[in-house]
Amino acid sequence: MSETQSTQESELFEPWVKAFVPWTIEFKPMNLSSALGPLSPICHLTVDHLKGIEEHLISLDERDRYLRFGYPAKDVHIKNYVDGLHVERDRLLGIFSADHRLVAFAHLSLTRPEEFAPCAEFGVSVDSSMRGQGAGGRLFEYACLLARNSGVRMLFIHALSENTAMIKIAKKHGATLEREGSETECYVKLPLGDINSLMIEWSSQYMSQSKLKLQEQTQRFWGFLNQVQTHRQKL
């Protein structure tokens, strides 16, 4: 799907979504075009994507693993982390490359004790090939939207103080920062979800899954053609 087609789809849905919003709020919500992106929409990940999540995290270099997990995570630590993901309760988000490789992954943790029900935690990792393209910021904005729709009023990020990229994203979205030596806690207060945020979640999820399926079908088609060509060359 081309960038022009993606933009046209977003423009088609956006007025319809905005028509349901009878008030404005101080918190600047995410719009539909940002959720979809020009060529790489944000997708909701399921249990079928756990292997891809593990491969993405293992592909991170030593430095990126340290910034993502707060310690020098080994392959076994990553495997344990992926095995412990609550796919049904949490929100797992991803951005795929044209060859259907997971290049950015975000974890919105909604699994928490009842007394912390209005809170959620956010973590993100981005492949080096996607750096500087705003993938981390887009995932954070979309996570805020999903958190609002889940009744979350406070989103927090536990980051190393040297993780300037993550802290920059949090500051850009009005987070309160509390630095304690080598670690920094970032807190973002969220308004309640509304019709606007619910409609954006629904429409973006529908359209992104459609794009993802199209990518998968295209990849299978070219794979089939390659097999046919290889077979003909052997004849």
pLDDT at 15: 46
Place of tokens 């004790």: 113
CA–CA separation, 61 and 72 (whole Å): 10
pLDDT at 112: 67
pLDDT at 223: 65
pLDDT at 202: 76
Q: Give pLDDT tens digits along the chain (235 positions).
A: 454 554 554 454 444 444 433 333 344 555 545 544 555 788 899 999 999 999 999 999 999 999 999 999 999 999 999 999 999 889 999 999 878 899 999 999 986 656 666 889 999 999 998 888 889 999 999 999 999 998 898 998 999 999 999 999 998 888 889 998 899 999 898 988 888 888 878 777 766 666 666 666 666 656 666 776 776 776 6
**Spans of all domains in the chain:** 3-8+29-227
pLDDT at 99: 81
Query: Edge-to-edge, what's the strand order for the sheet holding 176-180?
Result: 42-44, 91-96, 102-109, 119-126, 154-160, 183-189, 176-180
pLDDT at 90: 93
What are the CA-CA distances from residue 190 to residues 126, 174, 213 (Å)? 24, 10, 32
| CATH hierarchy code of domain 3-8+29-227 | 3.40.630.30
Place of tokens 């101080």: 26
